[in-house]
Structures are given as structure tokens and as C-alpha cells.
A and B are shown apart, each in its own frame.
Chain A
């Protein structure tokens, strides 16, 4: 089965530093998502991306966050100046949406620790 790939699996950074989380969605998928899960809490929607632009973002996705699809394969999430509360598991997901029978495919996540 095709996979969504995320790198790195773990990222440790100092507060105030910029981080970029990388994702390679499934090749023929058109819709891309970032979710996050703070330890012990729900998986939360951050942003959806289609046709090279953000289609929806949550309240969490403030000016410190940005997403980009720099080429035909990668999809990145950038946090400009990390805060302690950004520590979480970040999941990338993708879907084609040719029909309503499709499921969202998730990557294995990047565990971000902000010190």
C-alpha cells in the first residue's frame, strides 16, 4: 500500500528557533493536511492545502505557521519561532478525493520537542 512519508521522526529544538517538518504525500493525491497531537490530547486539525493554496486553517494555525509545496512531491510545515506549547506529534495526511469512498492516509508523524 502507498505511504505518506514524514521526516524527521523526532526533532528537538530550542524555544524561538525555526523548524521545518517535511512530508512526502502519496504521488497522485491532491489534498494535503497537517494535524497535531499534544501528549494526552486529541488529534487536532491545523491546515488543509489544495491547488497550491490553503483551503482551510484552524485557530491554532496562526502567523507563526506556514505551509508550502515547494516542488511536486514535498509538503512542508514551518514554525517560525517555536514555543514550548508547540511540542507535539505532527501528522501529515493526504487524499486524492476522486470519490467519497476514499480514506485519508496519515504519515507516521514527527515528534517535536521544544526546550
Chain B
């Protein structure tokens, strides 16, 4: 059974710092891996999708990497801003998405 774990569970940093959020999964038989952002009480916004054959994807200040063989992904956020404050969810897909527990990020001015 696929298990997805994210560390740290929570992170509080000053504005401007570069951040790394970690995701690990137990079954490497995945189609893809997605990173989502969730604001309190809101829906899920897809940030990046990495195909199982890919190593990384970039969008603006966000960069996600995937090492399928070791069951790991990282989300790198460059030059963090207060507007980045949210919960970040990692999810792996094989017919359906299995979500991690999330990392709650707070960026303070």
C-alpha cells in the first residue's frame, strides 16, 4: 500500500529564505508526482507535475525534483515571500492520487 510522508510538518521562516520541502513515498510504481498548495479552508491548487520519467520541473520560483528509485521528491522555493504561506501537499499518482500529510509553511516579513 502506497504511503506518502512529508517533512517537516511545519516550517516558519523569514522572508527571502530559500526553502526545501521533502516528500517520500514507499511504492515507486507511479505515473507522476504532483505538488499542491492549499490555503486554509480552501481547495487544492496544482503547482507542479513531474512525470515518472522526468527528474525535475520548474515554475517561476518553484523547482520540484523526483528520484523515483529512492522514492523521494523535493520542492524548492526560492526567495520565499509572505504570500507563499500555505500548506504544501505532495501526491503520487497510480490510477488515483495518494496524498502526503503536508508541510505547513509560514513566511513572515
Contacts and interface: CB of A to CB of B under 8 A. Distances in A.
Interface of A: 33, 35, 42-45, 48, 55-56, 89, 91, 93, 100-101, 103-109, 111
A103 B101 contact: no
Contact of A42 (B46, B52, B100): B100
Interface residues of B, number: 22
A45 B98 contact: yes
A89 B51 CA distance: 28
Interface of B: 31-32, 34, 41-44, 46, 49, 51-52, 89, 91, 93, 95-102
Main secondary structure of the interface of B (DSSP, over half): strand
B42 A48 contact: no
Contacts, number: 48
10 contacts: A33-B97, A42-B99, A43-B44, A43-B89, A89-B41, A100-B51, A100-B52, A104-B46, A104-B93, A106-B46
Nearest to B98: A45
Contacts of A91: 43-44
A48 B43 contact: no
B55 to A, nearest CB: 15
A100 B31 contact: yes
Given A100-B31, A100-B51, A104-B34, A45 B43 contact: no
Given A56-B96, A103-B34, A108 B42 contact: yes
Given A42-B100, A111-B41, A103 B46 contact: yes
Contacts of B93: 104
Given A43-B44, A91-B44, A108-B43, A100 B96 contact: no
B7 to A, nearest CB: 14
